Amino acid sequence: MLAEAAAKDKRYFAEFTMSSEQWEELTLAAWLHDCGKVTTPEFVVDKATKLETIYDRIHEVRMRFELLKMQAERDYWQSCAQGGDPKQAEQALKALHQQLDDEFAFVAQCNLGSEGMSDEDIKRLEQIAQRQWQRTLDDQIGISWVEKSRAAAPAPLPVWEPLLADKSVHQIPWPQGKTPQETWQEAFCLTPPALQYNRGELHNLKVKRGTLTAEDRFMINDHIIQTILMLQRLPYPKHLQGVPEIAGGHHERMDGKGYPRGIEASQLSVPARIMAIADVFEALTSNDRPYKKAKSLQECIAIMTDMATSGHIDPKLYLLFLQHNLHQTYAEQFLSAEQYQNSVVDTQEHIQKVLAYLREDY
C-alpha cells in the first residue's frame, strides 16, 4: 500500500515508479526480510522476561525465597527451644517473612522488564542479592561436562550462597571458530560482545529497559546480517538483484544510526525505506510477541510520529502513510477490534507534526 502511494506521489517521489518486475522484487524482499532469524535461538527472539532462557528462572529464585522463609522458621523454633522469648521471636519471624515477600515481589516485578529500572531499583536489587541461603547438595553432579567446565571450583558443603548471583557457569563463550568476526564476510557496524551469552542472574535482572542483555540484543540484531549473507549467496535474475538491499535495510535509520551497516537515507533505496516503515508498524501492532502486548493504533501512530521526526524512519514516506490513511486501512483488515475501534487517532495532528519537521530539516 505504501509503495503504491509513493509511486503515485508527485511531490516527494515524482521520479519513483514501480514496474511489474520491481513489484516482484519488493514482494520477494518482503517475504525474505527476516529469513536470517532461522539462525537466532527462539528463546532469545521470544524472551518475555529477564531471567528467561529455555524456561523462566524466576521459579528458581522463588524457591530460594521459600527456602529463606523456612530457614527463618527453623531459627524461630531453635530460639524457642533454647529458652528465647517466643513472643519476640514470633514477631521477628513475621516481620522477616513479610520483608521476604516484599523483596520477592520486587524481584518478580524487575523480571518483567515492562518498566524502566532506576538506579535506586538496581541498588535495592543488589542489596537483596546479598541475602544468603544454605546449599547442602553438590551442584556439580548430574550436569553436562560443558557446564561443569564453566563452573568454579567446588566449595566444601554446606555452603552459603548469595540469593542472586552472577557466576562463572553463567558465562557462555563464543564457540571456537564461530565468533561473528570469523563468519562475517563484510564490515558491519554491530560490535559483538565478549560472550555469546551471559546468563548471570543480576546481569539480566539489572537490564534497565526491556528484557534483553547486550548479549541477547546482539544475537537478535545479528539476524539481519545473516539475512543479508543468505540472500547475497543466492543467484538472481537481473530484475531481482536488489532483493538483498531491500530486505537487508529495514533496520537502518535515516540519520545513519541504525544497523547493520549504519548507512543514511541517501544510501537506501525507496523500497528499503518503505520496508522499514512497514516493519515498524507491524512490530508495534503485533499481538503474537510474548515479550510485549500489542499497542493500540493511537499508541502506534504516536510512536511512529516520534520516529519520523527524530531521524529513525523516512518522514516523507511516513507522511504519505498518514495522508492515505494506510494505518486505518491496515487496522480494519488485520488488527483486533479492541486495538483500533476505541483508539481515536488525530491523523491531521500527526501530519502537521511531520510537515513542521520537514520544513525545518529539508
Q: Quick one: pLDDT at residue 186?
A: 64
- Looking at 122, 143, 172, the residue that finishes a domain is 172
Structural domain includes residue 231: yes
Q: What is the pLDDT of residue 136?
A: 92
Does 345 lie in the same domain as 220? yes
The answer to whether position 159 is within a domain reads yes
Q: What is the pLDDT of residue 361?
A: 61
What residue numbers bound the domain in which 247 lies?
A: 2-47+212-361
Domain shared by 36 and 69, yes or no: no
Q: Are residues 253 and 123 part of one domain?
A: no
pLDDT of residue 224: 94
Same domain, 352 and 253: yes
CB atoms within 10 A of CB 241: 10
What pLDDT digit, counting tens, does each position of 5-55 carry?
999 999 999 999 999 999 999 999 999 999 999 999 888 988 999 998 887
Residues 94 and 137 in one domain: yes
What is the total count of domains within the chain?
Answer: 2
pLDDT score recorded for residue 113: 87
Residue 207 lies in a domain: no
Render each residue's pLDDT in the chain as its tens digit; 362 residues.
Answer: 899 999 999 999 999 999 999 999 999 999 999 999 999 988 898 899 999 888 788 999 999 999 999 999 999 999 999 988 889 999 999 999 999 999 999 999 999 988 889 999 999 999 999 999 999 999 999 989 888 899 899 889 999 999 999 999 999 999 886 777 666 656 788 888 999 999 999 999 999 999 999 999 999 999 999 999 999 999 999 999 999 999 999 999 999 999 999 999 999 999 999 999 999 999 999 887 777 788 899 999 999 999 999 999 999 999 999 999 999 998 889 888 888 777 788 999 999 999 999 987 65
**pTM of this prediction?**
0.85
Question: What is the distance of C-alpha 193 from the center of its chain?
Answer: 16
- The long-range contacts involving 251-255, CB below 8 angstroms and separated by at least 24 positions, are 251/221, 251/224, 251/276, 251/279, 252/276, 253/311, 253/312, 253/313, 254/311, 254/312, 254/313, 254/314, 254/315, 255/311, 255/312
The CATH number for 342's domain is: 1.10.3210.10
In the numeric block, which cell numbers belong to residue 200?
A: 548471570
The pLDDT of residue 287: 83
| Any domain includes 191 | no
